[in-house]
Structure 1
Amino acid sequence: MTRLNAVLLLALIASALYLVQTQYASRRLYTELDQANAEARRLQIEYQRLQVQKRAQATPLRVEQLARARLQMHTATPAITQYVTTPLPAPGAVQEPRP
């Protein structure tokens, strides 16, 4: 009978140790999950902030201001527009292939 009690006591101790180890692992994994969720929320907020900033940067007025300031561009007017024309071939004329 004592041998059975000793075996049962060892089984009880092993079971208790396994339960403690399992609870510890569960708490550790829950903490990691909570940290990952917090990081996901932080990244989502950062993404939304960047999207708003991107939309603000791409307004037509801002693009035009940057084109004028940094690239020294200006709007085309008829006074500075140069039209390129090519002579039209005479009717019935055969055009030579260009090299």
Structure 2
Amino acid sequence: MTRLSTVLLIALVASGLYLVKVSYEARRLFVDLERAKAEEQQLQADERRLEAERRTAATHLRVERVARDKLNMRQANAETTVYVAEKPASGASR
């Protein structure tokens, strides 16, 4: 009976240690999961913010203002437009 009791005691201690290890691993994985969820939410918020900034930066009026102010561009009109006609190549058959 002593031998059986010793074997059962060893099995009990081993299963207890295994249970502690599994519980610790489960807690660690849960913390990692929660951290990943928080990071996902932060990345989604950053994506929405950057998308809004991109839309704001790409508006027609802003592009026109930047072109006029920083690049010294102006809107084309009939007075400043020059049309170039291509001369047909000599000896070309039609």
TM-score normalised according to structure 1 size: 0.87
Between 78-87 and 31-40, the greater mean CA deviation after superposition: 78-87
1: CA distance, partners of 2:88 / 2:23: 88
What count of residue pairs does the alignment treat as equivalent?
Answer: 93
| Paired-residue identity, % | 45
RMSD: 1.7
Shift, 1:86, TM fit:
3.4
Give the match for residue 25 of structure 1.
25
Match of 2:6 in 1: 6
Secondary structure of 1:77's partner? coil
Q: Which runs of 5+ in 2 are unaligned?
A: none
For residues 15 and 87 of structure 1, what CA distance do their matches in structure 2 show? 94
Structure 1 residue 85: Cα displacement: 1.9
How do residues 53-64 of structure 1 correspond to structure 2 at under 5 angstroms?
A: 53-64=53-64
CA deviations 1:54-77 (Å, max 9, x no partner) are 001100000000000111100111
Match in the other structure for 2:44: 44
Query: Is 1:94 the equivalent of 2:78?
Result: no
What amino acid does structure 2 have at the position aligned with 1:18? Y
- Tell me by how many angstroms 1:88 deviates: 5.4
> What does residue range 55-74 of structure 1 map to in structure 2 within 5 Å?
55-74=55-74
Change (3 A) 1:11 1:84: same
Alignment gaps of 5+ in structure 1: none
Output the CA distance in 2 between the equivalents of 1:31 and 1:84.
Answer: 69
Who wins on radius of gyration, i.e. which is larger? 1
Query: Who is 2:81 aligned against?
Result: 81
